[in-house]
Chains A and B, each alone.
Chain A
């Protein structure tokens, strides 16, 4: 049987270049490069592997501003069959609750869904809420922190990486899985596939298309209120060079500035 697979992806600021505006305390996005969330690339790869093995289609769904275009094209170039960007100014400022609701609403518009993949969490907010949220809104079973996925006769067999070992679970579809960062190696994009992806294009779905009340989405639909943010002050650091025979001096100095403490030997 052919599986209808959905992958939830998010475009995030490149975590290596994130700059916090010291005045507004918001992320300064004007100079940061936007990239596809790394764990979502792993989710897409897991979905593509499953499709290639079992057959079916992979549809990528993302919520974000128009510049998420590059992520949509990238997912198509890696091998997705269809890409939908859920985008509307009404969706702006959403916390994880309306984000999950909006993405779930978009997925519910698809004809049939057997498996939904999501990254374990996004690198910019690291909540890990949205994947499980979507499963709840859609009334679907879910498994989080999945490292590998197999399918057989209407069941997903997933391995979950837990603190004390690996858990193997078997669940009937439909099911939502969140995939661990670095669970696999995402396939490369090639020029040929990227040209095809650019020509194929992606769909943009707005609020009207989803038919949701505006007060359910975006900042109005968000129960989170951020009261205050403050930057973490960087500690002053210093470097000093000690030769091997000066280690006693090093120990003394560390002791004097309070970095080392004397403890009774037991």
Chain B
């Protein structure tokens, strides 16, 4: 007899979602989390996209600690002097809400307490040391010499899945599979947030930025999201890229982003409430480990389930969806009392038929676009030239748009054929 039916390692969106589903179905579940309270070690940009919580917490939009619903989505290219943006605002998002800004310190606690309310045993402030094995099956977890047993374990450790790696269930992280994220929460008054971002009620802004103006060809993306009375602002820098630029410090990039002439006024006067940094899984499907085996499943960031195309960054939605599907697979396996890898392969099937793996397969290699020189440097520079030429009135005869574009193409620091190929590749991958 096991101590628990199931053990879930990690009470983030993936782990707590799994625990909610399992406990609601009547299983005995141990949900163990190193942070106390849950969420206090978590870092994420902070937009929860999608409706994956619908199936777990029926009234979540009313009860969950969401900050603002996003009705203002923006993608910007920054050069040293300019900002070129595509803004999309729509009343349609008021009817059909698609994303909410969230603060993980609150959201993770909410989800973990939902799991507890559903009957899970929630233990916080404890770090699991390793997995317990019996004839190569995972049969529980080990902590400080004690073994706690279960029929199966869900590993939902987040971006740095130490237990999974040390147990040989996934490869160690390589530089090219990771980015580093730095984030600040900057406190402002609710009225100031509304005024600066032209928001009303509890509508919110979510902006992504390509930071092509950084020295030494460092490529980084920025993000800026509105919470009720604070901003989540940060940068994501490809690890490989950072490592190659030995002289660049990640916090300098953060500073440069916040000092940009069109970013600074948005955050000015705010008080930094949190400063955090975290690994970001960026490797996509190619860095995904085997998702199941005898007695275990891997969900969320631990399984590299994140998506970014430069215009939108997602992860929490995949975490919630994969956590719920991991739970469903365990509940199905429990009917036959078979927790072998063969039985748990239904988890892979569920993911393959869902948005999670469909997205990740379809957008394989998207990182080559989002981190490309074209997107970060060349295109923004060209756009800046084109738009500046169009809008700068110097009293000389005006040019046709085509002339301006051709002019800026020849100025672009990239071969024309290469540029066309790159653009084609970009559009195909996005």
Q: Write the A1-44 contact mask toward B (1 if CB under 8 angstroms, else 0).
A: 00000000000000000010000000000010100000000000
- A188 interface residue (CB < 8 Å to B): yes
Contacts of A33 in B (CB 8 A): 36-37, 40
B37–A70 contact, CB under 8 A?
yes
Write out the residue numbers on chain A whose beta carbons fall within 8 Å of the beta carbon of B146. Answer: 190-192
B124 touches A192 (CB 8 A): no
Write the chain A residue with the least CB distance to B3: A195
- Residues of B in contact (CB 8 Å), total 20
Contact between A188 and B121 (Cβ–Cβ < 8 Å)? no
Q: A31-B105, A33-B40, A195-B30 are in contact. Are A190 and B144 (CB under 8 A)?
A: yes
Q: Distance in Å from the Cβ of B71 to the closest Cβ of chain A?
A: 26
In the bound assembly, the distance between CA atoms of A161 and B141 in angstroms comes to: 43
Contacts of B261 in A (CB 8 A): none
B123 A194 Cβ-Cβ under 8 A: yes
B125 to A190, Cβ gap below 8 A? no
> Are A192 and B148 neighbours in the complex by a CB distance under 8 Å?
yes
Closest to B125 in A: A189
Q: Which residues of A contact B148 (CB under 8 A)?
A: 191-192, 195
Q: Is the interface of A mostly helix, strand, loop or mixed?
A: helix
> Are B40 and A190 within 8 A (Cβ)?
no
A209 interface contact, C-beta 8 A = no
Interface residues of B in 255-302 (CB under 8 A from A): 273
- Chain A 160-193 interface residues, beta-carbon cutoff 8 Å to B: 188-192
- The answer, yes or no, to whether B344 is at the interface (CB within 8 Å) is no
User: B383 — which chain A residues lie within 8 A by C-beta?
Assistant: none
Contacts of A192 in B (CB 8 A): 143-144, 146, 148
CB of B128 within 8 A of CB of A191, answer yes
Name the distance in Å between A81's Cβ and chain B's nearest Cβ: 19
- How far does the Cβ of A186 sit from chain B's closest Cβ, in whole Å? 13
Residues of B within 8 A of A31 (CB): 105, 273
Bound Cα distance from A33 to B274, whole angstroms: 13
Using A198-B122, A198-B123 as known contacts, say yes or no to A70 and B128 having CB atoms under 8 A apart: no
Q: Choose from A19, A191, A199 the contact partner of B126 (Cβ within 8 Å).
A: A191
User: How distant is A140 from chain B, measured CB to nearest CB, in Å?
Assistant: 33
Chain A residue nearest in CB terms to B105? A31
Q: Is the CB of A191 within 8 A of B122?
A: no
Provide the residues of chain A in CB contact with B105, threshold 8 Å.
31
Instruction: Given A33-B37, A70-B37, answer yes or no on A191-B143 (Cβ-Cβ < 8 Å).
Output: yes
Residues of chain A lying within 8 A (CB to CB) of residue B30: 195
Q: Does B32 contact A (CB under 8 A)?
A: yes
Residue of B nearest to A194 (CB): B123
Are B126 and A189 in contact, with the CB atoms below 8 A?
Answer: yes
Q: Which residues of A contact B124 (CB under 8 A)?
A: 70
Q: Is A120 in contact with chain B by the CB < 8 A criterion?
A: no
What's the minimum C-beta distance from A37 to chain B, rounded to whole angstroms? 15
Do B144 and A70 touch (CB < 8 A)?
Answer: no
Given contacts A70-B124, A74-B125, A199-B121, contact A191 B36 (CB under 8 A): no
* Residues 40-77 (chain B) with a chain A CB within 8 angstroms: 40
Q: Looking at the complex, which one of B128, B144, B273 makes contact with A188 (CB distance below 8 Å)?
A: B144
Segment 73-124 of B: residues with Cβ below 8 Å from A: 105, 121-124
Contact between chains at B123 and A191 (CB < 8 Å)? yes
Give me the 4 closest cross-chain CB pairs, A-B, nearest first.
Answer: A191-B143, A192-B146, A190-B144, A194-B123
- Give 7 CB contacts A-B under 8 Å: A19-B273, A33-B40, A189-B125, A190-B143, A191-B141, A192-B148, A195-B3
Interface residues in chain B, defined as those with a beta carbon under 8 Å from any beta carbon in chain A: 3, 30, 32, 36-37, 40, 105, 121-126, 128, 141, 143-144, 146, 148, 273
